[in-house]
Amino acid sequence: MPSLTLLEIALPTPLRRRFDYLPPEDMSESELQRLSAGVLVRVPFGHQEMTGVLIQTKTHTDQNIEKLRPALAIIDQTPALDSALLELILWAADYYQCPEGEALSTALPVLLRQGEAAEERRETCWQLTTEGKGLPAGALKRSPKQALLLEALQAHNKLSRSDIAALEIPATIIKTLTDKGIIEKTFADETTPKTPASIFRQAPLTLSDEQQIAFDQISFGQFQVSLLDGATGSGKTEVYLQAIAKVLEHGQQALVLVPEIGLTPQTIARFQKRFAVEVAALHSGLNDRERLDAWLHARSGKARILIGTRSAIFTPMPALGIIIIDEEHDGSFKQQDGFRYSARDLAVVRANRLQIPLILGSATASLETLNNAQQGRYQHLHLHARAGNAKPAEIQLLDIRGQTLTEGFALDTKIAIGNEIAAGNQVLVFLNRRGYAPTLECHDCGWLANCPHCDVRMTVHQTPRHLHCHHCGHQRPVPHKCPSCKSSRLQPLGQGTERSEIALRDWFPNTPIIRVDRDSTRNKNAMDKILNEVHQGEPCILIGTQMLAKGHHFADVTLVVIIDADAGLFSTDFRGPERMGQLLLQVAGRAGRAEKSGRVILQSHHTDHPLVQTLFFKGYQAFADLILQERQITQLPPFRYLALLRAETKRPEIALEFLKLARHEAESIFPSSPQLNYLGPLPAMIERRGDRFRFQLQFNSAQRKPLHLLLTQLVEKLDANALSKRVRWAVDVDPSEM
Ligand code: ADP
Ligand code: ZN
Ligand code: ZN
């Protein structure tokens, strides 16, 4: 009797094990022989159906063979994930202590997880309707963008979404002309994709000497990590573009990762304008079908460039030749729930396995990366000169101790804003708190508007008027009377962007005040509209949160005001000062980007704090060195390796008991020593959130390996303990938030 072939499958369950199945009943032996790892399989699981990933076929099982059930179907004979990527994800699941099936399902597009076939759709294009064809050349003159699209369609017959984006025509124009009956949707011609004569749509710029030196240091066709260190506007993207050109010329693909709020239509358009090859994008603004399409195009090699946020690191790209991570220090590269991976760190692993270069770009690199550069593991490339010869901004630290502030602004700050507007310039005001005021206070008894479900205060919002918890989403009306003493003297406490916006409108009634935060940009295209208005160059005041700090170019802003520089300095998270420095420098970097030189006013109660002084007068490198010294003394990353065991429950004593048990187990596996020690259980930074009490146990190790071994054994022990079923818990390896 021939031995039976079995399928070993990873399924998206919290169970840390694989499952064996018999092959689907209708499957022939020869089909079975051809099956390879990475294929998606539909299987019965309990009373449900699930999509799993085939890890291997085999001939014996540790499970009771009588009880094995047949798989339902092989979804597609072509593996969804090639073996290199499958191995990378399995490695990551092991490293981050995440069940394999969950890791795999995070890595796969939603539609594939749901069992959809991995088939490409024909690309949507636009063409002129009969009515549109009747329009004369030069029609629609009153809207230049509409005229441009009409003209392009008169010349080319059909245009794809990326063709249109490359012309810098916004999607709203497509809609307008469709509504007018001038253009209509169609499909791309069913031809094999034409290999363009040249990869370029637009000729590359001549690199500056400094860019050229940096570019020449990049070794193609081998593993190498380069930190490309340069401020916004120093020409990093141009170096990326030319490095990408190099791999495209070799028939390879390029993967570009950007922060969540950095992936704007402008970013994508910049790549599409340069290259005549297909550029695919993967980000949260797409629907599931669009995501699947981009993913499939990358996998088939049709898309030669993929630009995406964090999870794009898991896209199969058969001819990947380079990975680029822009703003590598950005927090959004680390996933904060489920599969808690760092896309930046996995990029290092993926590049290493593929023997390709990785470029990490930032003006304010993470301390991990800077340390790697200092240790010689990464090469450190510098771009100093600002393209276009703009001078660096002048920094003014404004000591506000004892000063009277109106609505958060010092008198000098107000005067400076007025002068700048009067001179016809734009001003950017940075305040990293959305809403009207951080909370509501009773003037008579000191009552504060706490969230009933969390240990945080509720934010006051004005439009519409309500109290909102930014941690659990709980909302309620603003009370008229103090719930505690019935006084009607309730007052908003502190400063939010809405409140500053109102104050600025009051002071500068003739100047447009433009607010940029999560609330004001919630609608699709809202950010585009705002950017368009600002790019007109008319005097205006931009007020907003960190959304203003990233990626956008505001050439006419000559004054940046930072209302409160102190927030991060005394944070209980050891990464607080690092993040504060990165954010402040990024905000400050928005000033004077083109011909006009800029100025930054920074209001602070701690102008003489060594970190603030160093940051602004000696620069980021010196600031980073200072923090690195501290981290070395206090035994924190990047000199040590951390992991957290996070636990939360409705009744605090259960999570605490669980973590005490975990510590006890850990100590019995690995007694605490200077090499590997434990801290906790301690309450999380916000102890109660959404009615759950949160605690954590911290592991601190001199090396990765013993920490990994310990965690693996510990997780196994915890899984086997009944208490672990009563707690929501997770391991967070290399946590970025404490
Ligand atoms: P970064 O990515 O560091 O913010 P960019 O590459 O976007 O910098 O460059 C900033 C501006 O300078 C862009 O408008 C870009 O077109 C221009 N630029 C960059 N490199 C050159 C160059 N070598 N020659 C001319 N202009 C350049
Ligand atoms: Zn009161
Ligand atoms: Zn809450």
Give tens-digit pLDDT for 504-528.
Answer: 999 999 999 999 998 988 887 788 8
Burial class of residue 306 in the structure, from the number of CB atoms within 10 Å of its CB (0-12 exposed, 13-18 middle, 19+ buried): buried
The one-letter code for the residue type at 266 is Q
Compute the distance from residue 210 Cα to the ligand 1 centre, in Å.
12
Q: What is the pTM of this model?
A: 0.89
**Tokens coding 407:** 């609505």
Q: Which of 285-294, 348-357, 519-528, 619-628 has the lowest mean pLDDT?
A: 519-528
Share of the chain above pLDDT 90, in %: 70
More confident residue, 401 or 63: 401
**Residue closest to 316 by CA, chosen among 40, 16, 43, 7:** 40
Distance in angstroms (rounded) separating the CA atoms of residues 590 and 604: 19
Quick check: 659 pLDDT over 60? yes
Pocket probe for ligand 1: among 215, 227, 237, 268, the residue whose CB has the most ligand atoms within 8 Å is 237
Instruction: Place 586 in a pLDDT band, splitting at 50, 70 and 90.
Output: confident
Q: What angle do CA 544, 547, 549 make, to 5 degrees?
A: 90
Residue 472 assigned ligand-binding role: yes
Determine which residue's CA is closest to atom 11 belonging to ligand 1.
233
pLDDT of residue 77: 86
**Residue closest to 271 by CA, chosen among 161, 166, 148, 387:** 166
Residue 540 assigned ligand-binding role: no
pLDDT of residue 191: 55
Instruction: Place 196 in a pLDDT band, splitting at 50, 70 and 90.
Output: low
Residue 98 assigned ligand-binding role: no
**Tokens coding 446:** 């000191």
Q: Which atom of ligand 1 is nearest to the CA of 383?
A: 3
- pLDDT tens figures, 288-308: 999 999 999 999 999 999 999
Burial class of residue 207 in the structure, from the number of CB atoms within 10 Å of its CB (0-12 exposed, 13-18 middle, 19+ buried): middle
Q: DSSP for 545-590?
A: SGGGTSS---TTEEEEEES---TTTT-SSTTHHHHHHHHHHHHHTT
Q: What is the mean pLDDT of residues 616-643?
A: 95
- What order of strands is seen across the sheet that includes strand 466-468? 459-461, 466-468, 475-476
Distance in angstroms (rounded) separating the CA atoms of residues 37 and 35: 7
**Ligand nearest to the backbone CA of 457:** 3
Q: What is the mean pLDDT of residues 243-248?
A: 97
Q: What is the mean pLDDT of residues 89-104?
A: 96
Cβ atoms of 265 and 528 closer than 8 Å: yes
Quick check: 283 pLDDT over 70? yes
Burial class of residue 403 in the structure, from the number of CB atoms within 10 Å of its CB (0-12 exposed, 13-18 middle, 19+ buried): middle
Q: What is the mean pLDDT of residues 558-564?
A: 92
More confident residue, 135 or 499: 499
- pLDDT tens figures, 320-339: 999 999 999 999 999 999 99
Instruction: Place 1 in a pLDDT band, splitting at 50, 70 and 90.
Output: very low
Residue 125 assigned ligand-binding role: no
- pLDDT tens figures, 430-446: 998 999 999 999 999 99
Cβ atoms of 247 and 315 closer than 8 Å: no
- End-to-end alpha-carbon separation of the chain, Å? 58
List alpha helices for 157-235, DSSP H. Answer: 161-166, 171-179, 209-217
Q: Which of 31-40, 115-124, 223-232, 601-610 has the lowest mean pLDDT?
A: 115-124
Average pLDDT, the chain: 91
**Locus of tokens 């003297």:** 489
pLDDT of residue 621: 95
Peptide bond into 638 cis (omega under 30): yes
Q: Which of 28-42, 236-250, 289-303, 557-571 has the lowest mean pLDDT?
A: 557-571
Within 6 Å (CB) of ligand 1, which residues are found? 205-208, 211, 230, 232-238, 387-388
More confident residue, 358 or 190: 358
Quick check: 194 pLDDT over 60? no
Distance in angstroms (rounded) separating the CA atoms of residues 356 and 347: 10
